[in-house]
Structure 1
């Protein structure tokens, strides 16, 4: 972190504002904290959007038929249901899940395969839909007639809520990113006011010798913007290191598919510090000009 302070100090010009006061390190630290949070909320929003899209793609065009019956007639009912769905319009393919596939789907929810032995588990027919899919009511009517106990399920009852929940999480993450940036604006505005007030005598002297407000504002704004850039670079770097250290963040890990790809790892640490510096510059410029105007 000290390295970024040195960078901000060396790059500032013109040097009419002494490097003193609490606002100098606080501005950089605040920018680093805001940048850190902005990266995390930004990536959370991107991950939620990607998760919602993955769910939509994975579930689009898929449906199942669940067949429940007494053991002695179960296989007959399954074959009849398979005949019905294979001849129904809007269904491209249908296959009965094997016993192993069926157990693999259910076992995680009930504590293991052993618990299934005492349960009259139904059989499942996996469907691949085409176009808008079948007419659900008509298909269910045929199943009720030819294969009693068979139920068509296009997963709409829980597919929609899952996608909406992921989208809502994404919106919350984007809203949090905006709030973080607004907080950064407030912090920079306070720092600009504090810095200008702390060096009020210098400002008055520069005015007496003919210095224009534009020159004075430029000195303060440049300094605060560079501090924002330095803090933004530090905060973004720390955020990416924290994300990279998370368990399962590798290419084959649980989080690997949700975290940004190669382009994201390069673009985010560039975009966020630049955005932080731009926010610091715009906020400081407005704050300093307003404060100088009040001093007339």
Structure 2
């Protein structure tokens, strides 16, 4: 707010009132404020990266789980006197007859050779090796077949056949995804806690530098709410600057990884990375989480500074009454 300043000329007459601006309690910029913006930006950046990584792992695990749940594998081990092609056809026919099975396809010799090439090379005879043959069963994830009955039917018709519904892999995958998400959320909470502590110390430091002004304002009748609002406004602006910088940096990282993944889709490195982490796209939910973290950090900065100032003034009043 401004206060008019009255002046007089050399004849003693009142001159025009000149408005005088009151100085803010908190300096608009200082070294401590710039350092706090940098700290908040770093914390926000790391928090957004953690949230994006958790989102990426969760989405990838969900995709893996869906893909695994849609397929089962019938493995037929070679044995003396076993007609492998007849056994494969029998297993395919039995699996196709069960409700909940969409299709059953035999993995041919050429496809089996391609699967073994990375380990055995080329130019070998598949019939001379005790290599199991496979039947891929595509199932309905909404209404899966009765796997126990299917195993019993396969064991009766083809004793060398075994059914793998990948349930063990799905359970391990769910456990791994849940553990990763829990760790990520814990790290995110630690980041926000560290940000809160940094704000508390920065507010205490700012109050120590302006303590005499705060005490004078408080003793002449300025309410605690007025003083706290000044600090809250200052630190809200500081928190918004740091949080926006950190959130923007994290968004650039996510967009860069997504662009790299799309540009190198056909390379072996990108294929391996895509198989593990998807296409490095966190989606709308991930970017919404980044915005939420930015807003949360800015609000946390303002709320923490407000509570710290109110607590300081309460201690000041208690000291005054004791004295």
TM range (shorter): 0.7 to 0.9
- Are 2:61 and 1:52 equivalent residues in the alignment? yes
Gapped regions of structure 2 (runs ≥ 5): 1-21, 318-323
Counterpart Cα distance in 1 of 2:281 and 2:145: 37
Shift of 1:107: 4.5
- Equivalent in the alignment of 1:6: none
Matches within 5 A, 1:123-202: 123-130=133-140, 132-202=143-213
Larger Rg: 2
Which of 287, 293, 296 is the equivalent residue of 2:314?
293
Q: CA RMSD in A?
A: 2.7
Equivalent residues of 2:51, 2:290 under 8 A apart: no
Which of 295, 298, 306 is the equivalent residue of 1:274?
295
Counterpart Cα distance in 2 of 1:287 and 1:107: 66
Equivalent residues of 2:69, 2:170 under 8 A apart: no
Counterpart Cα distance in 1 of 2:23 and 2:209: 17
- Are 2:124 and 1:84 equivalent residues in the alignment? no
SS of residue matched to 1:295: helix
Shift of 1:43: 0.4
Shift of 1:159: 1.9
Equivalent residues of 1:66, 1:123 under 8 A apart: yes
Shift of 1:116: 8.3
Matches within 5 A, 1:253-268: 254=274, 257-261=279-283, 264-265=286-287, 267-268=288-289
Which of 231, 249, 268 is the equivalent residue of 1:238?
249
Equivalent residues of 2:65, 2:173 under 8 A apart: no
Counterpart Cα distance in 1 of 2:105 and 2:248: 50
Equivalent residues of 2:75, 2:134 under 8 A apart: yes
TM-score, normalised by the number of residues in structure 2: 0.77
Of 226-235 and 17-26, the range deviating more from structure 2 = 17-26
- Equivalent in the alignment of 2:42: 33
Counterpart Cα distance in 1 of 2:163 and 2:211: 76
TM-score, normalised by the number of residues in structure 1: 0.84
Shift of 1:233: 0.9
Ranges of 4+ aligned residues in structure 1 off by more than 6 Å: none
Which of 255, 262, 265 is the equivalent residue of 1:250?
262
Q: Is the alpha carbon distance of 1:190 and 1:119 closer, same or farther for their aligned partners in structure 2, counting shifts above 3 Å?
A: farther
Q: Is the alpha carbon distance of 1:66 and 1:29 closer, same or farther for their aligned partners in structure 2, counting shifts above 3 Å?
A: same
Gapped regions of structure 1 (runs ≥ 5): 1-12
- Are 2:228 and 1:217 equivalent residues in the alignment? yes
Shift of 1:204: 1.6
